[in-house]
Structure 1
Amino acid sequence: MKTPIELTEYQFSGKNNPLYQISDHPVNKLVRVIEINRAEFMFDIDIISIKSTTHFIDPVLKIVVFSQPTMVEQKPWDIVKGDQTIEIDDDIQPVPNPDFNDELPVSPANYPYMLTDSYEQFKRLSIQLNKPLLDLFIDSNDQKALFD
Protein backbone atom coordinates (compact mmCIF):
# COMPACT_ATOMS: atom_id res chain seq x y z
CA MET A 1 0.00 0.00 0.00
CA LYS A 2 1.12 3.54 -0.69
CA THR A 3 -0.60 6.21 1.41
CA PRO A 4 -1.01 9.35 -0.73
CA ILE A 5 0.91 12.34 0.62
CA GLU A 6 2.06 15.65 -0.80
CA LEU A 7 5.86 15.57 -0.74
CA THR A 8 6.10 19.37 -0.81
CA GLU A 9 4.59 19.48 2.70
CA TYR A 10 7.70 17.89 4.24
CA GLN A 11 11.19 19.15 4.96
CA PHE A 12 13.94 16.87 3.71
CA SER A 13 17.54 17.89 2.95
CA GLY A 14 16.51 21.20 1.38
CA LYS A 15 18.79 20.49 -1.59
CA ASN A 16 16.05 19.72 -4.14
CA ASN A 17 17.29 16.14 -4.42
CA PRO A 18 15.08 13.67 -6.31
CA LEU A 19 12.35 12.20 -4.09
CA TYR A 20 10.47 8.94 -4.64
CA GLN A 21 7.64 7.68 -2.51
CA ILE A 22 7.66 3.89 -2.23
CA SER A 23 5.24 1.51 -0.51
CA ASP A 24 4.43 2.07 3.16
CA HIS A 25 6.57 0.12 5.62
CA PRO A 26 5.02 -3.36 5.96
CA VAL A 27 5.27 -3.46 9.77
CA ASN A 28 5.01 0.07 11.21
CA LYS A 29 2.85 1.38 8.29
CA LEU A 30 4.84 4.61 8.05
CA VAL A 31 5.05 6.28 4.66
CA ARG A 32 8.50 5.84 3.09
CA VAL A 33 10.20 8.38 0.86
CA ILE A 34 13.60 7.81 -0.73
CA GLU A 35 15.75 10.90 -1.25
CA ILE A 36 18.59 10.39 -3.73
CA ASN A 37 21.77 12.04 -2.47
CA ARG A 38 24.34 10.75 -4.94
CA ALA A 39 24.89 8.26 -7.73
CA GLU A 40 28.42 7.02 -8.28
CA PHE A 41 29.10 5.64 -11.74
CA MET A 42 32.10 3.32 -11.47
CA PHE A 43 32.11 1.96 -15.02
CA ASP A 44 35.67 0.70 -14.61
CA ILE A 45 34.54 -1.81 -11.95
CA ASP A 46 30.95 -2.36 -13.17
CA ILE A 47 29.18 -0.81 -10.17
CA ILE A 48 26.68 2.02 -9.94
CA SER A 49 26.26 2.95 -6.28
CA ILE A 50 23.20 4.90 -5.16
CA LYS A 51 23.57 6.82 -1.92
CA SER A 52 20.20 7.82 -0.56
CA THR A 53 18.17 8.36 2.58
CA THR A 54 14.86 6.72 3.40
CA HIS A 55 12.57 9.05 5.36
CA PHE A 56 9.76 7.51 7.44
CA ILE A 57 6.71 9.76 7.72
CA ASP A 58 3.67 9.70 9.97
CA PRO A 59 0.92 10.77 7.54
CA VAL A 60 -1.51 11.66 10.35
CA LEU A 61 0.88 13.94 12.27
CA LYS A 62 2.54 14.99 8.99
CA ILE A 63 6.06 14.70 10.40
CA VAL A 64 9.21 12.84 9.46
CA VAL A 65 9.56 10.36 12.33
CA PHE A 66 13.07 9.21 11.43
CA SER A 67 15.47 8.83 8.52
CA GLN A 68 18.17 6.29 7.71
CA PRO A 69 20.49 5.34 4.84
CA THR A 70 18.59 3.39 2.18
CA MET A 71 19.53 -0.28 2.11
CA VAL A 72 18.55 -3.01 -0.36
CA GLU A 73 18.27 -6.41 1.31
CA GLN A 74 20.25 -5.00 4.27
CA LYS A 75 23.17 -4.01 2.01
CA PRO A 76 24.28 -0.76 0.35
CA TRP A 77 22.27 0.04 -2.76
CA ASP A 78 24.59 -1.00 -5.58
CA ILE A 79 23.54 -1.80 -9.12
CA VAL A 80 25.81 -4.62 -10.27
CA LYS A 81 26.06 -7.06 -13.14
CA GLY A 82 23.85 -10.08 -12.75
CA ASP A 83 20.87 -8.37 -11.12
CA GLN A 84 17.75 -8.41 -13.28
CA THR A 85 15.25 -5.63 -13.94
CA ILE A 86 12.49 -4.83 -16.42
CA GLU A 87 13.97 -3.94 -19.81
CA ILE A 88 13.36 -0.32 -20.82
CA ASP A 89 13.47 0.85 -24.43
CA ASP A 90 15.02 4.09 -25.72
CA ASP A 91 11.73 5.89 -25.06
CA ILE A 92 11.91 4.84 -21.37
CA GLN A 93 9.03 2.38 -21.76
CA PRO A 94 8.94 -1.23 -20.51
CA VAL A 95 9.47 -3.80 -23.26
CA PRO A 96 6.60 -6.32 -23.34
CA ASN A 97 7.48 -10.01 -23.24
CA PRO A 98 5.99 -11.57 -26.38
CA ASP A 99 6.02 -15.00 -24.69
CA PHE A 100 4.06 -13.87 -21.60
CA ASN A 101 1.01 -16.02 -20.92
CA ASP A 102 -1.53 -14.19 -18.74
CA GLU A 103 -3.31 -17.49 -18.03
CA LEU A 104 -0.25 -18.75 -16.10
CA PRO A 105 1.05 -17.41 -12.79
CA VAL A 106 3.60 -14.61 -13.03
CA SER A 107 7.10 -15.97 -12.42
CA PRO A 108 10.64 -15.23 -13.61
CA ALA A 109 9.97 -17.59 -16.53
CA ASN A 110 6.54 -16.05 -17.26
CA TYR A 111 6.84 -12.31 -16.72
CA PRO A 112 4.83 -9.60 -18.56
CA TYR A 113 7.96 -7.65 -19.49
CA MET A 114 11.35 -8.60 -20.81
CA LEU A 115 14.05 -8.78 -18.15
CA THR A 116 17.61 -7.60 -18.62
CA ASP A 117 20.82 -7.00 -16.67
CA SER A 118 20.23 -4.08 -14.28
CA TYR A 119 23.76 -2.69 -14.47
CA GLU A 120 24.01 -2.75 -18.28
CA GLN A 121 20.60 -1.12 -18.68
CA PHE A 122 21.21 1.60 -16.08
CA LYS A 123 24.61 2.33 -17.63
CA ARG A 124 23.15 2.51 -21.16
CA LEU A 125 20.29 4.78 -20.15
CA SER A 126 22.49 6.99 -17.96
CA ILE A 127 24.94 7.55 -20.78
CA GLN A 128 22.15 8.07 -23.31
CA LEU A 129 20.39 10.66 -21.14
CA ASN A 130 23.51 12.45 -19.83
CA LYS A 131 25.82 12.42 -22.85
CA PRO A 132 24.44 15.59 -24.50
CA LEU A 133 24.96 17.53 -21.26
CA LEU A 134 28.40 16.02 -20.70
CA ASP A 135 29.37 16.89 -24.28
CA LEU A 136 28.50 20.54 -23.62
CA PHE A 137 30.50 20.68 -20.38
CA ILE A 138 33.49 18.90 -21.88
CA ASP A 139 33.51 21.11 -25.00
CA SER A 140 33.16 24.25 -22.87
CA ASN A 141 35.99 23.21 -20.56
CA ASP A 142 38.17 22.22 -23.52
CA GLN A 143 37.61 25.61 -25.18
CA LYS A 144 38.71 27.26 -21.94
CA ALA A 145 41.87 25.04 -21.95
CA LEU A 146 40.87 23.62 -18.56
CA PHE A 147 42.18 20.18 -19.50
CA ASP A 148 45.67 21.55 -20.34
Structure 2
Amino acid sequence: MTSESANNRSSRWWIWILGAVVVGVIALVAFIAVSGDGDSEEAGAGEVTNFADVVRTDLVEIESYDATLGTIGGDPITSQRSGTVTAAIDAGDTAVAGDVVFRIDGEPVVLMFGETPVWRDMAPTEDTEVLVNRRNGTITS
Protein backbone atom coordinates (compact mmCIF):
# COMPACT_ATOMS: atom_id res chain seq x y z
CA MET A 1 0.00 0.00 0.00
CA THR A 2 2.76 2.42 0.86
CA SER A 3 4.60 1.80 -2.42
CA GLU A 4 1.40 2.55 -4.36
CA SER A 5 0.84 5.84 -2.57
CA ALA A 6 4.51 6.78 -3.09
CA ASN A 7 4.16 6.10 -6.84
CA ASN A 8 0.99 8.22 -6.98
CA ARG A 9 2.75 11.12 -5.23
CA SER A 10 5.79 11.02 -7.51
CA SER A 11 3.63 10.84 -10.66
CA ARG A 12 1.59 13.81 -9.42
CA TRP A 13 4.76 15.83 -8.92
CA TRP A 14 5.89 15.08 -12.48
CA ILE A 15 2.53 16.22 -13.82
CA TRP A 16 2.78 19.50 -11.87
CA ILE A 17 6.38 20.09 -12.98
CA LEU A 18 5.53 19.35 -16.63
CA GLY A 19 2.52 21.68 -16.45
CA ALA A 20 4.64 24.48 -14.97
CA VAL A 21 7.25 24.09 -17.73
CA VAL A 22 4.56 24.23 -20.45
CA VAL A 23 2.98 27.36 -18.92
CA GLY A 24 6.42 28.98 -18.64
CA VAL A 25 7.26 28.29 -22.29
CA ILE A 26 3.90 29.70 -23.44
CA ALA A 27 4.41 32.82 -21.30
CA LEU A 28 7.93 33.33 -22.70
CA VAL A 29 6.76 32.98 -26.32
CA ALA A 30 3.89 35.41 -25.70
CA PHE A 31 6.24 37.95 -24.07
CA ILE A 32 8.70 37.80 -26.96
CA ALA A 33 5.91 38.14 -29.53
CA VAL A 34 4.38 41.17 -27.80
CA SER A 35 7.58 43.01 -26.87
CA GLY A 36 9.32 42.97 -30.26
CA ASP A 37 12.77 44.56 -30.61
CA GLY A 38 11.76 48.27 -30.66
CA ASP A 39 12.61 48.86 -34.34
CA SER A 40 9.02 49.33 -35.48
CA GLU A 41 9.67 52.82 -36.94
CA GLU A 42 12.59 51.59 -39.01
CA ALA A 43 10.64 48.64 -40.34
CA GLY A 44 7.81 50.88 -41.55
CA ALA A 45 10.16 53.43 -43.16
CA GLY A 46 10.98 51.18 -46.11
CA GLU A 47 7.35 50.50 -47.04
CA VAL A 48 5.78 52.59 -49.79
CA THR A 49 2.03 53.10 -49.84
CA ASN A 50 0.47 53.57 -53.26
CA PHE A 51 -2.83 55.37 -53.72
CA ALA A 52 -5.15 55.43 -56.71
CA ASP A 53 -7.92 57.85 -57.62
CA VAL A 54 -11.42 56.41 -57.45
CA VAL A 55 -13.57 57.29 -60.44
CA ARG A 56 -17.31 56.68 -60.46
CA THR A 57 -18.71 56.13 -63.96
CA ASP A 58 -21.27 54.07 -65.84
CA LEU A 59 -20.38 50.74 -67.41
CA VAL A 60 -21.73 50.71 -70.93
CA GLU A 61 -21.94 47.50 -72.93
CA ILE A 62 -23.78 47.49 -76.25
CA GLU A 63 -24.49 44.50 -78.45
CA SER A 64 -26.48 44.71 -81.68
CA TYR A 65 -28.36 41.82 -83.23
CA ASP A 66 -29.89 41.64 -86.67
CA ALA A 67 -33.15 39.88 -85.85
CA THR A 68 -36.89 40.14 -85.91
CA LEU A 69 -38.99 39.54 -82.84
CA GLY A 70 -41.94 37.40 -83.78
CA THR A 71 -43.36 33.92 -83.69
CA ILE A 72 -42.17 30.69 -85.24
CA GLY A 73 -44.66 29.00 -87.51
CA GLY A 74 -47.62 30.95 -86.17
CA ASP A 75 -47.09 29.91 -82.55
CA PRO A 76 -48.38 32.51 -80.12
CA ILE A 77 -45.93 34.48 -78.00
CA THR A 78 -46.16 33.03 -74.52
CA SER A 79 -45.57 34.45 -71.11
CA GLN A 80 -45.65 32.88 -67.67
CA ARG A 81 -48.07 35.59 -66.56
CA SER A 82 -51.78 35.38 -67.23
CA GLY A 83 -53.96 38.35 -68.09
CA THR A 84 -54.70 40.78 -70.87
CA VAL A 85 -51.93 42.35 -72.93
CA THR A 86 -52.53 46.08 -72.40
CA ALA A 87 -49.47 47.51 -74.20
CA ALA A 88 -46.60 46.39 -76.43
CA ILE A 89 -43.56 47.97 -78.04
CA ASP A 90 -44.09 49.46 -81.48
CA ALA A 91 -43.14 47.56 -84.62
CA GLY A 92 -39.56 48.31 -85.59
CA ASP A 93 -38.49 49.40 -82.10
CA THR A 94 -35.28 47.93 -80.72
CA ALA A 95 -35.59 46.20 -77.34
CA VAL A 96 -32.59 45.65 -75.10
CA ALA A 97 -32.28 43.74 -71.85
CA GLY A 98 -34.15 45.60 -69.13
CA ASP A 99 -36.68 47.24 -71.49
CA VAL A 100 -40.41 46.75 -71.01
CA VAL A 101 -41.48 44.62 -74.00
CA PHE A 102 -45.19 44.57 -73.20
CA ARG A 103 -47.61 45.01 -70.31
CA ILE A 104 -50.08 42.49 -68.93
CA ASP A 105 -52.97 44.08 -67.03
CA GLY A 106 -50.86 47.24 -66.81
CA GLU A 107 -47.91 45.43 -65.18
CA PRO A 108 -44.60 45.57 -67.11
CA VAL A 109 -42.96 42.49 -68.61
CA VAL A 110 -39.22 43.12 -68.79
CA LEU A 111 -36.93 41.59 -71.43
CA MET A 112 -34.25 39.40 -69.82
CA PHE A 113 -31.82 36.91 -71.30
CA GLY A 114 -31.17 33.49 -69.78
CA GLU A 115 -32.55 30.02 -69.41
CA THR A 116 -33.69 30.27 -65.77
CA PRO A 117 -36.66 32.44 -64.90
CA VAL A 118 -35.92 35.33 -62.56
CA TRP A 119 -38.95 34.59 -60.39
CA ARG A 120 -41.18 31.57 -59.95
CA ASP A 121 -44.04 30.77 -57.59
CA MET A 122 -42.83 28.68 -54.68
CA ALA A 123 -45.61 26.13 -54.42
CA PRO A 124 -45.84 22.35 -54.03
CA THR A 125 -45.79 20.39 -57.27
CA GLU A 126 -46.58 16.79 -58.09
CA ASP A 127 -42.87 15.98 -57.50
CA THR A 128 -42.94 17.45 -53.97
CA GLU A 129 -41.76 15.02 -51.31
CA VAL A 130 -42.72 15.53 -47.68
CA LEU A 131 -39.82 15.07 -45.28
CA VAL A 132 -40.38 14.10 -41.67
CA ASN A 133 -38.32 15.72 -38.92
CA ARG A 134 -37.93 12.89 -36.43
CA ARG A 135 -35.32 14.43 -34.21
CA ASN A 136 -33.99 17.91 -33.64
CA GLY A 137 -31.43 18.71 -36.34
CA THR A 138 -32.06 15.70 -38.59
CA ILE A 139 -34.29 15.36 -41.61
CA THR A 140 -35.03 11.94 -43.04
CA SER A 141 -37.14 10.90 -45.98
Per the shorter chain, which TM-score range?
Answer: under 0.3
Of the two, which has the highest radius of gyration?
2
Using CA pairs under 8 Å that are at least 6 residues apart, name the structure with larger relative contact order, 1 or 2: 1
Higher helix share: 2
The TM-score with structure 1 as length reference comes to 0.21
Higher strand share: 1
The TM-score with structure 2 as length reference comes to 0.22
